[in-house]
Amino acid sequence: MRNDEIDSEIENRARAHLGQTHLVADYYRIRRRVAYPLPVRALSIPGMPVARVEAYPWSIWMLWDLEERIHALGWYGHAGSGEARSAVLKDVEALTTWPDYRQFERPDLSLGHSGRLIWYAAQAWPWLGEALADPLDMVCERLVVDGLPYSDAMHGAYRSATDILVLDEPHSVLHNIPLIGTVGIALCASRIDHPRLPDLNARLTALFGAFLEPRKEGHTEGVGYDGYILDFIAPWLTTLPDGDRQAILSHPRFDDLIDESIGLGAPGDVAQVAEIGDVEPREMPYHLSGHAKVLRWTDDGRRRWLLNRARLDWLRTDALAELRALPESGAGTPPSPGVIDAHYAVCLRTGWDHEDLAVAMSCSNSRMGHLQVDTGTVVIGNRGEWVVSDPGYQQYLKKAERTFTLGPTAHNVPVIAGQAMSAKPAKRCFKTDEMERGSAKVAIDLSDCYPDARVSSVTREVWLAGPETIVIHDAVRPASDLTYHWHGHPEAAWNVEERVGLIYLNGVATWVACVGHPLSDRCVDRLPGSRGQVTLNFDVHAEDVWWVFVVGRRPEVEANGSGIKVNGTIYKSDAGA
């Protein structure tokens, strides 16, 4: 598991922290950084104004960065650095004196991160746990006493997954935030053998079971937030008896989470997961942390394969420590290319190597807000990036960036007669076909996603044809005015050459053609609120629209009866007949 590289990565991170007088928390969503004096002695909430937000969740990002600092220094100290031990001892000692461990009146994320960090400090490094045993026990008691009434109020009525699943809206109980907050309470309760620990364990068993069970009907929060939940559930599992833990690990939907991570990783960089919905590959790699933590109980070849390929500089330090503790056992089991159901997206791919090609299409009916109304939207990846992209996570501040991430121009399914897609499908329903020589196809009916458009049917078909070509066909009946918005990677360069678009990234050309409809550079613009993406905007009145994306050579495309021909290969539609 690349132990020398892991040791070096942890050492470099720890050394960077040793020279700091302040903890720098990166609030990248609002483009700010805040410097907190070290050691951090309170869950201090800055009074800095954030436009149109009354109570900004400052505590989350501060705790993300404090957690990284303490883990890096703790594990470097565990390896023998006296300077790191001294620094982390001060940080944890200060942590035990905080007046509060939550920002809001609920089991919030700060309660989850604080509780987990306190529990981890108490049991991961014996030299620290022994030195601060009494303060750590006392702070665990305080955190449980403070947080438990909020958890009781939200989830006290649920003793089993069934209690949740029989509700009219079970998804309303399954949001990641209170579940994560409750994990923080339970971990501290386990440290001190609190008398309410059995209640908390039963509650989390019910919540996580209710999170897993409806996944067969489409429930998910996407790889970012499903992974966030897994990253907290995994350490809680260490506190359970073997039989209780195994019952959770053997749930038939548990491995859905690895399907998401594997299916959505970019060719050449598995950590660069597709930004469909609220996904932040660099800032929230918690799905990888969660997979690392469950490997101790389930030597899953696919998880091992994924983590062996994941870039170490993006993994959080607690994940690096988990990998470092695992015995060496080979490279893992490579997944098969072709069609992969990632449970809120369907992926077609020739493989995971640098020069492979992948396309991921959103197909979610989940009622969770972190997944947007974007069914049929596609992203296209190769050479470590998603060159045809989506805006990604929604901006909560009500400014132009929020419109860019959620408005009518946000996704690349067509706007029909001025009506953007406005509904998710009732069920996940798509058809796939795996063909010869690295080719595959997926088709999805989007008709129910346009309740306000005066059309009888809308279908999108997507072909992956080897490591160079993606073909997309939209059938809209009857013919309508259609508007498209194709976003490129934020760092890509654009041009239009002889009526064919060009996206140029890292020395590789991806050509974009709309068959029968010449493109112009007047179609290429940066939209208000863009995070760097430049967009190809195109209007057409039609009932059939064919888009072609080809990596490398400029494509030769032409109409061919009811289909098209791309570089000599004919594509025929099964839709809209």
CB contact set of 549 (below 8 Å; sequence gap of 6+): 380, 388, 469, 470, 471, 472, 510, 511, 512
DSSP 81: -
Please tell me whether residue 348 adopts helix, strand or coil conformation.
strand
Residue 471: its H or E element: strand 469-488
Half-sphere exposure of 385 (CA within 13 A, CB side): 17
pLDDT at residue 88, rounded to an integer: 97
Q: Which alpha helices (H) appear in 357-432, and where do they start and end?
A: 400-406
CB contact set of 200 (below 8 Å; sequence gap of 6+): 148, 151, 182, 185, 186, 189, 194
pLDDT at residue 45, rounded to an integer: 94
Tokens of 71: 């883990």
Tokens of 100: 């509060």
Phi/psi at 192 (5° precision): -105, 10
Contact between residue 486 and residue 472 where contact means Cβ atoms under 8 Å apart: no
Contact between residue 438 and residue 467 where contact means Cβ atoms under 8 Å apart: yes
Contact between residue 291 and residue 306 where contact means Cβ atoms under 8 Å apart: yes
CA–CA distance, 234 with 421 (Å, rounded to integer): 37
Q: Mean pLDDT in each 10-residue stretch from start to end of the chain (577 residues)?
A: 91 97 96 97 93 90 98 97 97 98 97 98 92 96 98 96 97 97 98 98 98 96 98 98 97 97 98 97 98 92 96 98 88 93 97 97 96 97 97 87 94 97 94 84 97 96 96 98 98 97 97 97 96 97 98 94 94 78
**How do the domains of the chain map onto residue ranges?**
1-95, 339-571
pLDDT at residue 1, rounded to an integer: 57
Q: Classify domain 339-571 at the CATH topology level.
A: Beta-galactosidase; Chain A, domain 5 (2.70.98)
Q: Which of 238, 237, 261 is nearest to 251 (CA)?
A: 237
